[in-house]
Amino acid sequence: MQTAELSIIGQFRNLTTFSLISALYMESEELLQLKSLYNLEHLHLDCCGEDCDASPEAIAEFFRLPSESASNFFPYRLKYLRMSDCHPFYFEAAQELVKSCPQLESLNVAWNQFMGEEALSLFIKNLSNLRFLNIGGLGEMKCEALCEISDDELPKLRFLSLHNTKVSEEILQRINLRRPNLFITNRSDYFINWGMRNGELHFNKEFRGDINAVLNDLAEIDGFCCMHSVI
């Protein structure tokens, strides 16, 4: 999709949902055309990794709100976001995102390998309405901010996906014991789950439940579609 085509889409200012699954070779100017969609509540962008030609500065600018009349600009109304496989999504973009969209309920930043540990810490500390979070594919990141997550942080979180990360499973197990209503998946066909064996707590290596039933229930909630293919 070229600049002229995105410029045309940018004229549909009543759009509340927009999905562009393969933003191959998208350049800065093309991305910023979408900022005219100030009514957007729901956005999916797969930026195609190293084939994304937008600059880190443009990604940060994409999420920046003006200091005056912010409610008339994107991304003031944004609640559900998939901005995945976006190599130029750096810490500065994360800063602008949490500043402009503290009301986010769903966030997929999977394969944004260069955002850094500090970006994840920002999400945890500032996005208190988040229900769904996909931080899979973050390479060598250990997501250390999860080790120190308090009960007051991400209090509404229902689903957490961490496929292809270096996060310790023991850390995830401890989090899940504190939050038994949170579904955590760190590999295919699996949610962390446990039972009692000989009077002792035992974590199962396989999911002892109906994965499809869980996913169907979650899919009934607005924003879960941002998680993409997570199991």
162 with 76, same domain: the answer is: no
Grade residue 48 by pLDDT with cuts at 50, 70 and 90: confident
- Residue 228 covered by a domain: yes
Query: Which of 59, 81, 104 finishes a domain?
Result: 104
- Cα 108 to chain centroid, rounded: 2
User: Which tops the pLDDT comparison, 157 or 2?
Assistant: 157
- Residue 6 covered by a domain: yes
Assess whether pLDDT exceeds 60 at residue 105: yes
- Residue 114 covered by a domain: no
What whole-number percentage of the chain has pLDDT above 90?
A: 76
Domains contained in the chain, number: 2
What's the whole-number average pLDDT of the chain? Answer: 92
- Residue 131 covered by a domain: no
- Residue 132 covered by a domain: no
72 with 156, same domain: the answer is: no
The residue-averaged pLDDT of 30-44 equals: 94
- Residue 115 covered by a domain: no
Residue 8, both tokens: 């045309």
The C-alpha angle 224, 194, 175, rounded to 5 degrees, equals 60
- Residue 118 covered by a domain: no
Assess whether pLDDT exceeds 90 at residue 20: no
d(C-alpha 168, C-alpha 192), whole Å: 12
**pLDDT for the residue 129:** 98
Domain that holds residue 158: 139-231
CB atoms inside a 10 Å sphere around CB 101: 22
- Residue 92 covered by a domain: yes
Query: Which of 80, 104, 128 finishes a domain?
Result: 104
d(C-alpha 58, C-alpha 94), whole Å: 12
d(C-alpha 55, C-alpha 160), whole Å: 28
Cα→Cα distances 113→51, 77, 87, 143, 158, Å? 14, 26, 6, 12, 24
Grade residue 3 by pLDDT with cuts at 50, 70 and 90: low
Residue 117, Ramachandran bin (φ over 0: left; ψ between -120 and 50: alpha; else beta)? alpha
